[in-house]
Structure 1
């Protein structure tokens, strides 16, 4: 791009944003989740108010292995990121490049949320106005069916040296805006930008001083409306970052826009770690019934496959609504998002393990016919020994069945924060949270809350028992120890 064209593009953007700096940003990551995955490369092109342009790029050590897919897509090798600086080591340079700038990215929510998470991991808040070039492309070129970066490169014949490398992709966005300004006119592009920004920025009634007081610690938060009704419950490793992200991001999703519109105040609860934050949030959603947490809808279509034995001795499956299933009273061999997903999985297992269509829950009545005759060994005609059939049935559902409680006694799971004297403990038996104990120094507060089995609680506890146990200690208790704990 020659200097005149670059200057024209800079002027067009600076005028659209009242001469605020702008930054074209692209990142490469180990995956798609800002919570579980990490950044491996960042590229930034900053246009300053005086129209000068500065570029910055660096690889980032994610402290995670790169998958074959990521290495193949980006061309970045594990050895390269292992030798690269960690995000915290280059955070001051990145912050300087993004400071006071409008954050421009293709699918901006993705890049923005990752950068927020990276800053949040060491207690720093990042907030910026954002402009998504996917949405801008839809405004400027409504007749175009696709608006991916690959499609834009192909359609506008934009040369790119290394696709899926951060700085090169940032340069593509910059060049695309230049071409759009030349072909459609600067005023058309500016008007589209202003319209997008106006559509997204939503005012909130939550007082600024209240938002500023939210600490950058792990915990749970709840937004309330003017009548003190719960609007939304959330949790995060960095409360300040999470709370601000709902209200101060111009690329807001419909849910965030609604949170901003309805909320009048925010309340927060510090927790010693992630497990406590998860369980606290689950409890608040259950008791407060927030307007925007779709707790019931989440499992409305979900189904459970429960096991029963026929009069002939064959193990079989029933499909029933998950919310009407109690896994402590029934044998659950699998859970699925919908009946359609369940039938698809059961058909696949039937083929792989030669299960009878009549008894495997796939809806066949009477003797097997059609495709089931290919793999049925005659259970529906009483031609196969039930023991042989049931052995294959157990193998088929081994990896997806409801996880049985493996402890012989109730357990106390303790999660401690930065200090050993502060933490939260959970008394759990058969996946049910029976009590929560908060302790600080010599004081402790016991809250008895056994409300039966909860699918949310089961999924949370299972995740932590099967995964990393950082800051967690697990201890089995005798009946006498449980009694003394609950009466202390």
Structure 2
């Protein structure tokens, strides 16, 4: 893509002219070129424009005309996605300037203002000044083409760090292209969808739940399912069956991810596979033998005892995945294959030692103290996180801004999420509900869930995501006292 900004003599593309262009070319996520050029517009710059941009008539007196740089510029733009902040403005000026010199330039630009609204709907303002302030972008040349283009680059870098790639892709596709709706789906089913975070559900004619998904922009993500290329067989099959769409808005992506995970596991939609209920989880357990050497073995995780889960290492959806991870760690760190459980010998040197891929802990050539330290270091990358709070916590997910006319009642309400020991206990409405959830027995829904755990650590241990989603974490010790 090409991130681009123009400075002009005024606001009418058919009358005014470009005075400066800057662009940053991004290829496969890498910056491959920066280019900027002052341009003699052939007309006078109004004083108030000069005061705003710092570009004067004298600065442009000896600069090339647009016609002079047109061929070079069109080569840089062709075959790339044009990205601009308020793209309609920049694209309109480019198209008219090219037209004046006999070049036809047409594209489907991507507007970073619209992208920001979709990806960060919790914020009211999405102009470049607001974004610069919100992201603390260092600016030395505001209202100059390259300075503003660099600000757009910072915005995209922020998105890549805080949003999921598939969310960005879905919204970009929706903003740039038309979708082909399924033949049995009334167009009104799409029109009712908000460009807000939440969960959506696809149903067939007989009421069967086909699919549950989540997005930070429900309408964009749904339209992406029905793009004309049908990038996967699942979307094609759903398109043939779907007749109705239902949805639930949430204030932010945090609530959307938790709700999606809960509904997939409780409602079991026909075409969801990624987060279907996992019956068994496997972990690596570390013990010591009679000589004091660390031993590893693969065990079933006890999902009813979170303290035991956090004392072990890794969480794997299959025994095969656990075995492959254990083998990788052993080979990468020259751990003993017998002590690691990869060989079933009761004693003696492991085969890895015989080929010099084990330092000899199996025959006591390496001290237990040194070997155990290496084992601990090897396992550090898959160590499960201890619960960092002294009690259960209440996470407040603030209501969507009232200015958004697409906001439904559910997202206009603050949501409260109860979490304890990495177990998501659900949304609560009042103190009585909160006490009931906390005192529920383990036979209820308060078992450890891997997908919920991954969502919680992603959001609650990331200060940038907490700030972005305006989440508030309240430990409940002072309200509940000691729990039995």
1:398 is paired with a residue whose SS is: helix
What TM-score do the two structures reach when normalised by structure 2?
Answer: 0.57
Tell me, yes or no, if the aligned pair for 1:61 and 1:86 is still in contact at 8 Å.
no
Corresponding position of 2:349? 368
Distance 1:292 1:96 in 2: 46
The residue aligned with 1:203 is 182
Between stretches 269-278 and 316-325, larger displacement belongs to 316-325
Q: Give the distance between the partners of 1:304 and 1:41, measured in 2 at CA.
A: 50
Deviation at 1:115, TM superposition (A): 5.6
- 8 Å contact from structure 2 (residues 84, 112) kept in 1: no
> Deviation at 1:462?
0.8
Q: Which residue of 1 aligns with 2:459?
A: 464
Q: 2:395 aligns with which of 409, 413, 418?
A: 413
1:75 aligns to what?
32
Please tell me whether the aligned partners of residues 198 and 217 of structure 2 are also in contact (alpha carbons under 8 angstroms). yes
Task: Classify 1:246/1:389 alpha carbon distance in 2 versus 1 (closer, same or farther; 3 Å).
Answer: same
Which structure 1 residue ranges, 5 or more long, are not aligned? 1-27, 29-38, 43-57, 99-110, 125-199
**TM-aligned CA distance change 1:231 to 1:94, over 3 Å:** farther
What is the root-mean-square deviation in Å for CA atoms of aligned residues? 4.5
Q: CA deviation at 1:235?
A: 0.9
Match of 1:476 in 2: 475
Cα offset, 1:60, TM superposition:
6.9
Residues 97 and 328 from structure 1, CA distance in 2 versus in 1: closer, same or farther, beyond 3 angstroms? farther
Paired residue for 2:335, among 337, 355, 375?
355
**Equivalent in 373, 376, 383 of residue 391 of structure 1:** 373
Give TM-score, length-normalised by structure 1. 0.56
Question: In the alignment, does 2:431 pair up with 1:451?
Answer: no
Instruction: Say if 1:115 and 1:461 are closer, same or farther in 2 by CA, change over 3 A.
Output: farther
Which aligned pairs between 1:14-53 and structure 2 lie closer than 5 A? Answer: 28=1, 40=3
SS of the residue 1:393 aligns to: helix
1:238 to 191, 197, 217: 217
Structure 2 CA distance for partners of 1:483 and 1:424, relative to 1, 3 Å: farther
Residue 221 (structure 1) shift? 0.8
Q: Structure 1's 201 and 320: CA in aligned 2 closer, same or farther, altered over 3 A?
A: farther
- d(CA) in 2 for partners of 1:287, 1:235: 15
Classify 1:79/1:268 alpha carbon distance in 2 versus 1 (closer, same or farther; 3 Å).
farther
Specify which of 417, 425, 437 is matched with residue 434 of structure 1: 425
Superposition pairs of residues 8-157 of structure 1, within 5 angstroms: 28=1, 40=3, 70-71=29-30, 75-76=32-33, 87-91=84-88, 119-123=114-118
TM-aligned CA deviation for residue 240 of structure 1 = 1.1
Tell me how far 1:348 sits from its aligned partner.
4.1
- Counterpart CA distance in 1 for 2:256 and 2:329 is 37
CA shift, 1:428, in A, is 1.0
Kept in 1, the 8 Å contact 2:336–2:362? The answer is: yes
Per-residue deviation at 1:482?
Answer: 7.7
Aligned partner (choices 260, 267, 292) of residue 288 of structure 1: 267
Residues 301 and 475 (structure 1), Cα distance of their counterparts in 2 relative to 1, 3 Å cut: closer
- State the distance in 1 between where 2:289 and 2:316 align: 23
Residues paired across the two proteins, number: 332
